[in-house]
Structures are given as structure tokens and as C-alpha cells.
Structure 1
Amino acid sequence: MRKDSNLLKYTYTLKFLRDEEGDYRYLRFKVKRGTKSISISYEYDEECIVDIGVFGPGSLDLIRANFRGWSGSNRKRIYLGEKWSTPGYIAEPIEEGVWHVILGLYKIPEDGCKVHVNIMLLEDSVHSISYVSEPVNSATCKRSLQEGGWLKGDLHVHTMHSDGDSEIHEIVEWARHLGLDFIGLTDHNTISHLREIRSKELLVIPGEELTTYRGHMNVLGVNKWVDFRIKCENDLLRILSYINREGFLPIVNHPKSLGPKWEWGHIEEIGFLEVWQGIWEFNNYESLRLWDMLLSKGFHVFAIGGSDVHRLKTLDFVFKLSTPTTWVYTEKLDVAEILAGIRNGKVVITEGANGPFINYYLINRGKRFRMGDSLTPGKYKLVTYVERGKGSKLRIITARGIIYMTDITENHASHSIDVNLNEEDVFLRLELVNPGPYTDELYSKEIAIKALTNPIFIIP
């Protein structure tokens, strides 16, 4: 490190080795009283990927750290100030004391990686008119429901506050155009986007995507930063305990090839899994197979969908807003009620906002059981409802595999069949799929799922 007191500048040149990949390193710098803003720039060898963020004065301990921002490897120059900060960073007064730049060593080649970091403390404020900073005030949308109903949205959306290409108001406008009721904004490792949430026409669920080097996890309903610096199993368990204590909702994201995969385990404890990311053909059959395996073992894990959209302004055939669409049954259009519906398993995932929709219930002696409920083995009548599903096939699935399949010949169809469920079934869920030669295979790459439900559980 070289410090130039006249220019209030710190310069670091570092070399990281391959065995440091996946770890974090901290660069210390002292901020003097009267500093109005901080400018940070960095560069590294082309073969590497090094992420960057900033912590303010105070502890660096897990959960307790004074988070000021994170931008991954998307920005090579960062500004922090009281009135405005680079998207991904918190606009707050610049405190006197010891600060830290955090470097995330994501990809380090065999011959190592050289990194240069420059930090400048400025006496002038940084201003921009491109972004707003306002408190979160979208916990309740002006729309309300007098009775329970199915609401549709996208729970995995990125903005310019991480690696997305669009501002929040642009995303909200497009979501409204698609007819969505809600979206979940889940930028990578930051909550700077929360201050821009101000929509009264569309419910915006505040979230954060914990982007670790061994998998990603969305956290919905956040009102404060959740630490992403998970380096071991104990760190994960501490973070999960914190999430549950705060009443947030965790979802393991895209556990499949090119996801990237989730390597931390404990999905059965987390309880929510993004089974459908982007278009179905993008390896989602792997996530479906994992989900069914967990269900077959008796774990009560609920499926969620999310587009993981980053680009609204460029053509993307894989990640598009509302592909897939997540439907939640809820009593009211607000964040708490949407999250409650998810926690109760009242969720259907469809290929799009106007795609086929499916719902069902089981009935025995006048008692109805719906998604997320548990029942004992026995004889039941299964009643299904399909909308906009003409030309698809309905599949009924338990731990024993596909137990029933039929063609849907009308756009609005209802079916009723008798089923005898035993302990070996463990769960029951439904799918709508495209017809074809592979419809009797559960996890074929050739099968495109159009809609799927969450399960009812069969318990001894």
C-alpha cells in the first residue's frame, strides 16, 4: 500500500494466488473528518474475475459489518457520497474512521492474479440526477382484494443496482404492461435498490440475491442488508438463523448446470427452491429432479419460479421478465401476504403471464385438501382445473412417478378422478406439458413444462 496524504489517496498493488480463489480480502483505509465522498477504482488481469465492495467503520464480523455497497465485477469505478452513490452502494454521510474495500476472489488462474486499487478521499460531494434515493414505501399497493385470489408475478429480477440494464421504474412499467401484480427485486449482495422502491401501481417485494461462490440464494421481504460472505457451513447456518429471526424468506436459486449450482446443502431446512429459472429448456429438468428427490424423502420443500432477468433492453431468449410467472394465492396484495402464501405452498408456476394455469384439490368425506396441505393415505377424489391449456397433457405425479396422464382438449377444462394414495406416494403434484414422444419421461430434456403446481403431502 502507498498512501499520499497530500492527495488523500491510497494505492494498493496485490498479487493473489490460485489457492485463494473463493475467498475475500480486505484493504484498510482511513477516512478523515470533512471527507464528503470517496472514489474507488480498480483493475485486474483479464484472466481473473475479482469482485469489489465497501464496508464503513466498525466490525467486519459476519452479519454485524457496516455494509456500504457491492458491485461484483460489473463496475471498475465507484463513488460513495451522502446524497448519491454509484448504484449498488448506499448514499449516506461519509463517516470518519477506518473503512475497508472488500475484494472477492471469484476466479484466479493458475499463475495468480495481480490487482491494482486506487482510493481517493474527496472534499467535494458527488452528484447525479439519474437515480433517486427514497425510503421503501411499497409494502402495500393501492390495489386490494376483497376475497382471496391468485396473483401473478416474477420473484427474481435484477436492476442497475447490480448487473441489470434497467432502472426500477422501467422494470415496473414493463411488468405492468405484462399484467403482473408483483415483482421481486433481488440484486446481487446489495440493498441499495430498496431506496428507490416507490411504486403504487405494482407491488414491489424487496429482496437480495446472496451471491456466494458456491451458490445463490434469494432472500425476500428484506428491510436491511443480509450478509453474503458465506465461507463454510457454519456461516450458512448463522445466516439462515438470522434470516428466519428477521422474518425474511430464503429461496435456493437455480440448483442446476449453468445455474450456478447450489453446493451448500441444507435445502430441506431452507424449505424453498427455485425449480424454474428462465425458459423451461434451460436445464430446469435438473432442478425438478432434485426437487422430486427431496419430496420423495419426505421433506416439505416448496417450488418457486423466477426469470432471473437482467436485460430488458436487449434481446434475450432465455431470461425474460415473467418467464416463468409465479402465481400465489393470497388474501391481499401486500408483501406480508404474498410471502405468507409462499410459505404455505399456495404457489403455481407457469411458462408466462398468459400461459396455461392449473389448480387442484383432493376431497374425502367433504373435506378438501389443497396445495401445501398434508393428508393421510386413503381414497380421494382429485379435482383439477385447467385454463388456457388446450393441446397440452396433464400429468399427475407422486414419488412412484407419473400415476395418471390425459390430454387437455379445451382451453378451460375440469377433470375429476379417483385416486388411492398410500405411504409410498409421499406427495402429489400436477404438471402441464407439451405433447410428444417423451411425455412418459419425468426428466427428459425434450419435455417442455408449461405449468406445475406445488404438492399435497401424504403422511402416515
Structure 2
Amino acid sequence: MTTIRRTIPVTVELQNEQRYLNVPFEVPPGTDSLEVVIRFDPSESGIDLGCVGAGGWRGWSGGARTEYLITATDATPGYLPGVPEPGEWNVVLGLHRVPSAGVAVEVEITMPASRPVPPVPESAPVARAVRGSDRALPAEPGLTWFAGDFHGHTIHSDGRLPIGGLAALGVASGLDFMAVTDHNTVSHHAHLPGEGAKHGITLLPGQEVTTHRGHANAFGDIGWIDFREPAQHWVDEVERRGGTLSINHPISGDCSWLHRLERRPAAVELWHATWYRELISTAPFAWFRTWPAGATLLGGSDVHMLEEPQRPGTPTTWVAAEDASAEAILEGVRAGRTAITGSAHLDGAALMPELMRAPALVRLGDEVMAVDAEGLVLVDGFGRRRSVRSARESFSADPADGPFALLLADRSIMALCA
């Protein structure tokens, strides 16, 4: 067994020069596993953790972990298993938060690993009371509106739920699909088909491309997107690989979108769970005014753990698709066939059956139809208002006049569509 120890003095000046610091080490031929541990004073510091192998990117856990193991057949969630290829490897340190006095980071590498990878807990399937698609929202011929959530995390990044646990929570919430969008890793992708089949829900492959200047979700089984590259690279590379990129929670505190782009992606997570705190806020729309016409609207709960008030489907994104497969759902997103529902009076701990009865607004050709929205007001992107007087009522609606919203009398927003 070989153990390598290095102490890295991390200063603000170093952070100014490079946000991601590589700590190289050599993996000799015949190595069947390795283990990395970092130690630092976390009271005023935040150091993220990742790994680049001799053959390419091996994983990321950000600030969620201070150690990882990689073996031939298993790895810490967030990292890719496989025999460690000989050659130069790098421990990647993300210099997220550095105090003015600096911080000493000890890096310890052990080959082979001193212990096995801890097992991932199993999650039992739960009975589904109702599917979002059971609501049968009016759709174009050959299409069905499926209910889902485009933002969720597991133990493969900073979530506390295994993939099966997130899937079970989505099923209990009545969803037809969920996107699993762990931070800066795709280690979860290989597990999604099996866990989705086990729990009876479609799990969409995603990656939350995460930096200190903003986050974006890359959807599709398109491989890993390098978050260390400029944001324009994310846009271009995701498109080149046939995926879809969405700007996440663009006005959410210190996670707001700050990157400059020459060419913007097609989708925007306009309704994020944090918006539930103040549904009369017009800030998301003010930001959206800078976006080109025709952007696809998405919503996401950003669920991480059971202790949070949000659950999958708060908010719910509906996609009109031919079926509930991952391919069909993502094709619906690329075509812009989305709508978002929520409820100002929904208890944060409530689950999807309550949202099934929430007012909805869906596009049908040159019209939008308000469903279960009698007494609400339809407002377009120019502020023009029309009253909804029946349980199902259609309105002429040029997409160029969007986005369209259903409002309560107190101006709380209950549903959106483009």
C-alpha cells in the first residue's frame, strides 16, 4: 500500500488566479483501486473535490464530500468506477470559499484503497395513487401531457437520497418523469434506467453544470459537460451532442446567472422552487424580458432531501409528448411543448395529488386553454388581462405575446405557458 500526502497552502491570491486547482499524482501499472481524502478547517473555508484520471474526467462531489474511492467495479457516488488507468491523475480542488488568512488543505492519496466502497441503501417502490398524465389535460392529437420535474439531486452530488429514494418520492408525488441533475457529474446516468423501471417512473439523464457564476442543466444521455469551460462552451457542446441546456434559477440569490453568452440556450428554468416564497414577485419575468422570443419554459423543485419543504412537482412541468419515455419527453422539450403549474395555497409538504387539481394553462395551436381556472385572470407578456369564466376556456394567444400566466386576485401566479 502506498500513501501520498501533500499540504496545499490555499490563498485568496491563488483563488483569484484559478478556481480549480489540480494536485497531480502518479498511478502505477497494476493499481486496482485508490482512495482520496482531503482535510481542512471548514469553519471559514469551502473546498470542493473532484478527480481527473489519466484517461479523462472521473467525477465530482463538490462540497458534499471530503473523500472518494474508485475501484474496478464500484466508486463513491459522483465518481465513475473502473480500473484506475496508469499515468498521471489529478485531485481537483474547487477553491469555493477561501478566508483572507488562507487555508491549508491536506491531500491524502492511498493506493490501493484501504476499504471497500460503502453500499448504497435500497429504496422500496411505493404505490402510485395517481399519475400526472391521468389528469388528461387537453392536448394535440397523438400527444399526452405528462407531469414531471426537471431538477433533482441524489447522493451522486449533494442530495441525501439515493436514486431509488428520489424516484420513490417522485412516484409518491404522482409524477410521470423526473430529471436527475446531479452537480458536475454523470455517474448517476448508468443507474437511471434500472431504478426508473423498478419504481415505475421515467428518470431523465441530466447534469447540473455548476459554477460560482451560475448553474445550468444539461439534459440527455450526452456524456459529461466540463463546467470548467466558459458557459458558451456548454451551450455549443450540449447542442452539438443533441441535448438541451436550460439556465437554472436565474435570479436565485448567490446562485443567480452571471455568465455572459453570445448565443443563448433554448430553455430557461423560469419557475424554481424558491419562487414559492413569493409568487407575486415579477423578478423572474423581468429577467426573462432579456431572453429571445420562443424560449422553452421549465420548472424545477431542486429537491435534495426529505427535510426540505419542497417535494418533486413543486412546481410541476408538463410536457406534451407521444409517450413517457425519456426520448419522447426530451423531444417535447426541444419542440417547446411545456407548461408549468403550481399553487400559492399549497402547503410545502403537500404532494402531487393536490397539484393535479391546480389551475393549468396549456397551448393548443394558436390558443391557450385555461383548465380548472374559473375566476382567475389570464395575463400575457404585455400585461393584457382576460378573465377566465369557466372550467375549460380557450383564448387566442400568439406565442410572441407570451409568456402567459394565470393569476389569483392577490396577483399570485398559479400557472405558466409560452
Q: 2:321: which partner in 1?
A: 330
Structure 2 counterpart of 1:213, which letter? H
**How far, CA to CA, are the matches of 2:264 and 2:282 in structure 1?**
22
Q: Does the 8 Å CA contact 1:155/1:326 hold for their aligned counterparts? A: yes
Q: Could you tell me how far apart the structure 2 residues matched to 1:238 and 1:127 are?
A: 34
User: Are the counterparts in 1 of residues 32 and 84 from structure 2 also a CA contact under 8 Å?
Assistant: yes
CA deviation digits over 1:9-50, x for unaligned, max 9?
Answer: 111111122133361111111112222211111122221111
Moved more, 203-212 or 15-24: 15-24
User: What SS is found at the alignment partner of 2:235?
Assistant: helix
**For residues 324 and 14 of structure 1, do their structure 2 counterparts lie closer, same or farther at Cα, with a shift above 3 Å needed?**
same
Give the conservation status (yes or no) of the 8 Å contact 1:39–1:122.
yes
From 414, 418, 425, the equivalent of 2:393 is: 414
Matches within 5 A, 1:43-54: 43-45=39-41, 46-54=43-51
Tell me: CA distance 1:20–1:394, structure 2 relative to 1, closer, same or farther (3 Å): farther
Would you say 1:56 and 2:46 are equivalent positions? no
1:37 aligns to 2:33 (yes or no):
yes
Mapped partners of 2:234, 2:403: distance in 1: 31
SS of the residue 1:114 aligns to: strand
Q: Which residue of 2 aligns with 1:175?
A: 170
With 147-156 and 237-246 compared, the bigger mean Cα shift is at 237-246
The answer to whether the aligner puts 1:307 opposite 2:301 as a matched pair is yes
Tell me how many residue pairs correspond in the alignment: 382
Structure 2 Cα separation of the partners of residues 267 and 326 of structure 1: 28
SS at match of 1:163: coil
Q: 5 Å matches for 1:46-85?
A: 46-58=43-55, 66-85=56-75
Helix, strand or coil for the counterpart of 2:383? strand
Could you report, residue by residue, the CA deviation over 1:163-201 in whole angstroms, capped at 9, with x for unpaired residues? 111111122122112221110000000111112111222
Deviation at 1:274, TM superposition (A): 0.7
Deviation at 1:96, TM superposition (A): 1.5
Q: Does 1:450 pair with 2:411?
A: no
1:394 is matched with which residue? 377
Distance 1:306 1:24 in 2: 28
Letter in 2 for 1:101: V
Q: Is the 8 A contact 1:430 1:453 kept in 2?
A: yes
Residue identity in the other structure for 1:414: E
Distance 1:428 1:256, change over 3 A: closer
Amino acid at match of 1:155: F
Distance 1:262 1:301 in 2: 16
C-alpha displacement of 1:286: 2.2
1:247-281 Cα shifts (integer Å, max 9, x gaps): 01100000114261111132862121111111533
2:110 and 2:39 map into 1 onto residues whose CA distance is 15
Superposition misfits of 4+ residues, deviation over 4 angstroms = none
CA distance in 1, matches of 2:68, 2:252: 32
State the partner residue of 1:443. Answer: none
Q: Which amino acid aligns with 1:262?
A: W
What letter matches 1:342 in structure 2? V
- Show structure 1 runs of 5+ residues with no match: 1-6, 59-65, 133-142, 362-367, 371-382, 440-447, 455-460
TM (normalized to structure 1)?
0.77
Structure 2 residue aligned with 1:24: 20
State which of 335, 339, 354 in structure 1 corresponds to 2:330: 339
1:320 shift after superposition: 2.1
Q: Equivalent residue for 2:369?
A: 384
Task: Tell me the equivalent position of 1:429.
Answer: 403
Indicate the structure with greater helix content.
2
> Matches of 1:426 and 1:83 in 2, distance apart?
52
Find the aligned partners of 2:395 and 2:232 in 1 and give their Cα distance.
44
Tell me if 1:88 matches 2:78. yes
TM-score (norm 2): 0.84
CA shift at 1:108, angstroms?
1.3
| Contact 2:249-2:256 at 8 Å conserved across structures | yes
Alignment partners' CA distance in 1, 2:361 and 2:143: 17
Residue number in structure 2 paired with 1:164: 159
How many Å separate the matches in 2 of 1:333 and 1:92? 32
Q: Would the aligned equivalents of 2:359 and 2:370 in 1 still touch at CA under 8 Å?
A: no
**1:458: which partner in 2?**
none
Unaligned runs of 5+ in 2: 123-132, 343-351
CA distance in 1, matches of 2:24, 2:401: 53
User: Do the aligned residues in 1 keep the contact of 2:231 with 2:261 (CA within 8 Å)?
Assistant: no
Aligned to 1:378: none
The more displaced of 322-331 and 279-288 is 279-288
Contact 2:303/2:311 (<8 A) preserved? yes
Partner residue of 2:108? 118
Return the letter of the residue paired with 1:48. Answer: S
- Answering whether residue 194 of structure 2 is matched by residue 194 of structure 1, we say no
For residue 130 of structure 2, what is the aligned residue in structure 1? none
Greater per-residue strand proportion: 1
Counterpart position of 1:102: 92
CA distance in 2, matches of 1:171, 1:214: 27
- Secondary structure at the counterpart of residue 402 of structure 2: strand
Contact 2:151–2:303 (CA under 8 A) maintained in structure 1: yes
In the TM superposition, 1:243-262 aligns within 5 A as 243-258=238-253, 260-262=255-257
Is the alpha carbon distance of 1:279 and 1:107 closer, same or farther for their aligned partners in structure 2, counting shifts above 3 Å? closer
**Does residue 272 of structure 1 match 2:267?**
yes
